[in-house]
Amino acid sequence: MRFKEGETPRTRVRNLVLPFHYEDETVAISDTFTRQIREALENLRDKHGLTVRFIGYTDDAPLTGRDESIYGNQLALSKAMANRVALEMQRVLGLPASAIESDGRGASRPVASNETAQGRALNRRVEGAGTRVESSRRGGILVRRSSPGVVGRAAVVPG
């Protein structure tokens, strides 16, 4: 691993849990996804300063009807889905608000082609990433180190 001078070293761990895919904003967050997030957090429990960040993504199909009137665009929809998952994980897992974040990226990072229904379904997802901030003292100076790692990419496909 190479790091630029003056930048904090970062470590990424991928695919600790499966992706969470959604058909629409009303799909229930599965027990499987919740269990996988819980297990990933338990595996990282000795890491102090851990924050879990849920990031939402969408397909590139134009929003219509109710979704268009509520969200307006894919970016807003992805942020709303990530926030919904984050709040549910906070509630179910008993995490403090300071340990949870959410954001959305809209249709900016597809994992499959948006040309097919199956590809679009794969792109509608919420991923979970973990960031750990380390603090230590060196010569009386507080050093903070941030190292993000993907807690998981999780998906629930209804049906």
Q: Cα–Cα distance between 125 and 3 in angstroms, integer?
A: 30
Q: How confident is the model at residue 4 (pLDDT cuts 50, 70, 90)?
A: low
**C-alpha to C-alpha distances, 71 to 25, 68, 79, 81, 119, nearest whole angstrom:** 11, 5, 9, 11, 22
Residue 68 φ/ψ, nearest 5 degrees: -65, -40
In this predicted model, which residue has the larger pLDDT, 5 or 76? 76
Query: Which pLDDT score is estimated for 75?
Result: 97
- Catalogue the E-assigned strands of the chain: 20-21, 50-57, 100-104, 125-138, 141-154
Q: What's the whole-model pTM score? A: 0.75
Highest mean pLDDT among 21-30, 38-47, 114-123, 150-159: 114-123
The pair of structure tokens assigned to 143 is 């050093």
User: In this predicted model, what pLDDT tens digit does every residue of 43-102 receive, in sequence order?
Assistant: 877 766 778 889 999 999 999 999 999 999 999 999 999 999 999 999 999 988 988 899
For the chain, which domains are there?
20-154 (3.30.1330.60)
